[in-house]
Amino acid sequence: MQNTYKYGFHKPENYVYKSKKGLDRGVVEYISKRKNEPLWMQQFRIRALGQFYHKPLPLWGGDLGGINFDNIFYYISPTDKIVSRWEDLPEDIRDTYDRIGIPEAEKKFLSGVSAQYDSEVVYKSIKSMLSKKGVVFLDMDSGLREFPEIVKQYFGTVIPSGDNKFAALNSSVWSGGSFVYVPKGVRVDLPLQAYFRINAANMGQFERTLIIAEEGSFVSYVEGCTAPIYTTDSLHSAVVEIIVKKGARVRYTTIQNWSTNVYNLVTKRARVEEEGVMEWVDGNIGSRLSMKYPSVYLVGRKARGEMLSIAYAGAGQHQDVGAKAVHLAPETTSQIISKSISRGGGRTSYRGLVQIMMGATKSKSKVVCDALILDEASRSDTYPTMDIDEQDVSIEHEATVSKIGDEQLFYLLSRGIGKAQAESMIVNGFIEPIVKELPLEYAVELNRLIQLQMEGSVG
Amino acid sequence: MNIQILQNTTKTIIQEIHGGKAVYEYTVTERAQLALLFVVAQKVDVEIVVRVCLTGRGARARIIGLVAGRGSQIIRIHTEQIHEAPDTTSNLLVKAALYDQVQFSYDGVIRVEPLAQKTDAYQKNENLLLSPHAHARSDPVLEILANDVRCTHGSTTGKPSEDQLWYLMSRGITRSTATQLLIEGFFERAIMTISDTIHQEQIRKSLWQII
């Protein structure tokens, strides 16, 4: 196996506790007990475990045959307590973060860093400004401890534990993730950021994120991940639930760059109430197989969902990603823009759904998918589904699959630009509409990553 | 049923669908051209598969499907445009006007096999919902295994345009007549692409029974 993954280093494992491999009721009870959780959460986990056993693996999408559920650690805790100062972090963890540039991010006055190292959030800093406004930005475990009532009210309401096999798995063994609560009318001007990292062979990450934006509030949450490389397969199965109340706006940005042995099977969904706006910005660069379809359930009049999705599949990769918009109320609107690139035998699939339920009159939806195929060995698919139960609506879908335009390439070559550079310029131009929506440091990183990948494509 | 379009020939086929389940297969060989128009305009349930395989270099196919449904009909249409050879072209358009409680589902695949370089494939589904209880489902799929291709698909679902209705009504035409004209125009654009006027009349006759 040839690995050229840039962040493919890993530190010796040094864990306080490591549960045994595999999953049974004992492991689930142990996790819950160790975290000192209330009874309802323990029961929620156990019920979800039953649903996990019961649900079949999806028959569509990518090849999930490589996952061995008995060969995974479901819980690892790297340190016992959460530290709030960078200097207090254990040295090897700090070292890992140094290599992916977290201190730089700090220097850039990011509003709060909650960094996930394996299963638990070990480092977090929240600017006092946020706390003064009443904004809560905690890891999920602390959130459950400090705000049990809010968590109980919303947890599992957007994505029930039995939603799908992987949501059930996450519900039974979840650990870490973020809890964000924005009070009525509060605008959080700087994006909240969390970094994720897997650092144990066969370690699955099951983080759980819950974001609640009260009436008229605004928050932007950024999640980025990069994982060290291992030769055995890893599983990442997160659940993200977002509640957008009346007139609120939430933007959730992800750049996923797992190493190419990770199965990334994530359920992300937002419930959007009257005049609320949910924006998903989703970038998939890494992983062996991603199956991820950020969704909006538009339940209130004039609610709006926007999804921007970008996928890159290189050798051995399959990005089965897309977006879903379910219109349940009148005058709701949604827009999905997807761009994908496949190269070196990679496969990208756009899989999406637009559903207009009875009663969702005057709804509008527009879906645009563009795919680039860079060589003969690669593949691209488009599987959009539109299900319309109401007459007074306007639904549009368009998709295009093509290679890099000969005319574009010729133009650049005629200006004396090398072929590899010209191709990477064209690809960067292709993804530009989405990249410009990203925070600056992410945009820079994404452009650089695409450039690196493209340079590898010659010779 | 499998109809083969022989090398270097051009064939126009008008296929009226009378209901029930059926599979229609067409093989388009080297430099052959197929113009296929199928019409679904009977008040019975329909479930059909229309498969067009482009097996020879330079093969071309134009596929038009016209659907008009009334009552509590269930109409399922599945189309496949399979490009197996290089330099092949296919162009598909499925138009449906749906009244009453009609349940219409369209799913279509463009599949481009690895050998079929320089493929140009297009697929479009347009649905006109004419009753609040009509249901449309559209599932246009692309599966592309070659790289030097151009494949595009589109799908729209909506009701007759208020602007166009208003324009006609401002010319003294009643709302119901104006709606009728818009629906006829919706199909007429596709019918006009068939050159034979006898065929055109035949298609209009079937569709006009429903709309």
Q: What is the 3-state secondary structure (H, E, C) of A116-140?
A: EECCEEEEEEECHHHHHHCCEEEEH
Q: How far apart are CA B127 and CA B111, in angstroms?
A: 23
Kind of pairing, strands B120-129 and B89-98?
parallel
Alpha-carbon distance A61 to A383, whole Å? 10
Helical axes A440-455 vs A419-435, angle rounded to 10°: 150
Position with higher pLDDT, B1 vs B190: B190
CB spacing of A401 vs B152 below 8 angstroms: yes
- Chain A residues close to B143, C-beta within 8 Å: 379, 381
Asked whether the beta carbons of residue B137 and residue A388 sit closer than 8 angstroms, the reply is yes
Q: Does A409 touch chain B (CB under 8 A)?
A: no
State CA A344 to chain mean position distance.
24
Contact B142 A403 (CB under 8 A): no
The residue assigned the tokens 């940005």 is: A253
Q: How far apart are CA B108 and CA B50, in angstroms?
A: 9
With beta carbons less than 8 A apart as the criterion, state whether A305 and A275 touch: no
- Please state, as a whole number, how many other Cβ atoms lie within 10 Å of the Cβ of residue B47: 16
Residue A217 is which amino acid?
S
**pLDDT per position as a tens digit, B122-174:** 999 999 999 999 999 998 899 999 888 888 888 899 999 899 999 999 999 99
Residue B123 touches partner A, C-beta closer than 8 Å: no
In whole angstroms, give the CA distance from residue B31 to residue A386: 35
- Backbone φ, ψ for residue B142 (5° rounding): -115, 130
Residues of B with Cβ-Cβ distance to A401 under 8 angstroms: 142, 144, 149-152
Positive or negative torsion for Cα A128, A130, A136, A142 = negative
Residue for token pair 């924006």 = A279
User: Does the CB of A389 have a partner CB in chain B at under 8 Å?
Assistant: yes
Which secondary structure element, helix H or strand E, spans residue B94, and what is its range?
strand B89-98
Is B114 in the A-facing interface, judged by CB distances under 8 Å?
yes
- By Cβ distance, the residue of B114, B140, B143 closest to A384 is B140
Contacts of A387 in chain B (CB under 8 A): 137
Residue A170's closest CA among A252, A267, A76? A267
The residue ranges of every structural domain in chain A are 17-292, 406-459
How far away is chain A from the Cα of B71, in angstroms, using its nearest Cα? 16
Instruction: Give the C-alpha separation, A303 to A276, whole Å.
Output: 5
Q: Which of B129, B147, B154 sits opposite A376 (nearest CB)?
A: B147
Q: Residue A260 in contact with residue A286, Cβ under 8 Å? A: yes
Q: State pLDDT tens for residues B116-131.
A: 999 999 999 999 999 9
Please answer yes or no on whether A402 and B140 come within 8 Å at the CB atom.
no
Q: Which of A343, A348, A370, A391 to mutate to test the interface with B (most CBs of B within 10 A)?
A: A391
Nearest to A239 by CA among A135, A167, A150: A167
Pair A231, A10: CB distance under 8 Å:
no
- Mutual orientation of helices A25-34 and A165-173 as an angle, nearest 10°? 50
Are B147 and A374 an interchain contact pair (Cβ–Cβ within 8 Å)? Answer: yes
Backbone angles phi, psi at A392, to 5 degrees: -85, 70
Tell whether B16 is within 8 A of chain A (Cβ).
Answer: no
Nearest Cα of chain B lies from the Cα of A272 at a distance, in angstroms, of 24
Say if the Cβ atoms of A403 and B147 lie within 8 Å: yes
- Is the model's pLDDT at B77 over the cut of 50? yes
Helix (H, G, I), strand (E, B) or coil at A53: helix
Residue A367: CB atoms within 10 Å: 27
Query: Which value does ipTM take for this structure?
Result: 0.79
Which residue from A minimizes the CA distance to B132?
A391
Measured between CB atoms, which of A376, A384, A397 is closest to B146? A376
Average pLDDT over residues B173-190: 94
| Closest to A138 in 3D by CA, of A55, A206, A58, A194 | A194
- The pTM score is 0.83
pLDDT score of A94: 60
Q: Shortest Cα distance from A235 to chain B (angstroms)?
A: 27
Provide CB contacts within 8 A for B26, sequence distance 6+: B2, B3, B4, B5, B13, B34, B36, B50, B51, B52, B53, B61
Give the best residue of B147, B156, B165 to mutate against chain A (max A CB count within 10 A): B147
Quote the CA–CA distance of A383 and A353 in Å, as a whole number. 9
Over its length of 459 residues, how does chain A's per-residue pLDDT go in tens digits?
344 555 555 665 655 556 677 888 988 998 898 888 999 999 999 999 999 999 999 888 888 888 888 888 787 665 544 455 556 655 655 665 565 554 444 433 333 344 444 444 544 555 567 788 899 888 888 899 999 999 999 999 999 999 999 999 999 999 888 899 999 999 998 788 765 444 444 345 788 999 999 999 999 998 865 544 444 557 889 999 999 999 999 999 988 877 777 899 999 999 999 999 999 999 898 889 999 999 999 999 999 999 999 999 988 999 999 999 999 999 999 999 999 999 989 999 999 999 999 999 999 999 999 999 988 889 999 999 999 998 889 999 988 888 888 888 999 999 999 888 888 888 888 988 888 888 776 777 677 667 766 665 433
Q: Do A397 and B155 touch (CB under 8 A)?
A: yes
Rg (CA), chain B: 18
Q: Do A395 and B155 touch (CB under 8 A)?
A: yes
Residues A422 and A411: their CA atoms lie apart, in Å, by: 9
Chain A contact for B165 (CB, 8 A cutoff): no
Outline where DSSP puts E strands in A260-405. 262-272, 277-284, 289-292, 295-298, 304-313, 318-327, 333-342, 347-356, 364-373, 379-388, 394-402
